[in-house]
């Protein structure tokens, strides 16, 4: 948990201070964070550990930062990577909302565990599509 918090702090500082590095590199960082947070949601579901309200900020914040990225780089909305990134972000936000709704009690959380991991699979697949689009764009 501590390592993830440190990693998130590094990402935030990197994104805030290094936007000059460019669209592709900053997007890669956001994709990596969303990917890892989705995996963590699935891990929690598989372990049966319900996040409490205070824990949800850890999952909401990366999406908020990613939305800021989209606003900052909106001149790239014509790119395939941008469109796929927005899809990734929507899938991730849907998963976080599902977790938030499911964590209300132990029974609901247990019943929704498989759905959380299914949503994670969708996030991971879309994250790979974003990465592939970025690779294609960097070659052209």
> What total of structural domains would you count in the chain?
1
pLDDT in tens, 76-130: 999 999 999 999 999 999 999 999 999 999 999 999 989 999 999 999 999 999 9
Task: For residue 10, give every residue at least 6 positions away whose Cβ sits within 8 Å of its Cβ, in sequence order, or none.
Answer: none
- This prediction has a pTM of 0.84
Q: Which residues contact 71 (CB under 8 A, 6 or more apart)?
A: none
At 128, which CATH number? 1.20.120
105: left (phi over 0), alpha (psi -120 to 50) or beta: beta
Q: For residue 73, what are the domain limits?
A: 2-139
Would you say 73 and 79 are in contact if contact means Cβ atoms under 8 Å apart? no
Cα angle 96, 101, 106 (rounded to 5 degrees) comes to 110
């Amino acid at each position: 948990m501590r390592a993830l918090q440190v990693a998130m702090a590094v990402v935030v500082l990197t994104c805030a201070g290094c936007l000059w590095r460019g669209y592709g590199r900053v997007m890669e960082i956001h994709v990596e964070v969303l990917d890892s947070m989705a995996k963590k949601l699935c891990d929690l579901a598989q372990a049966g550990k319900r996040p409490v309200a205070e824990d949800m900020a850890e999952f909401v914040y990366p999406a908020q930062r990613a939305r800021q990225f989209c606003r900052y780089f909106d001149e790239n909305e014509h790119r395939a990577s941008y469109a796929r990134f927005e899809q990734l972000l929507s899938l991730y936000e849907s998963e976080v909302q599902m977790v938030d709704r499911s964590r209300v009690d132990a029974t609901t959380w247990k019943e929704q565990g498989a759905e959380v991991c299914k949503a994670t699979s969708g996030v991971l697949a879309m994250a790979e599509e974003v990465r592939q689009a970025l690779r294609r764009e960097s070659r052209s």
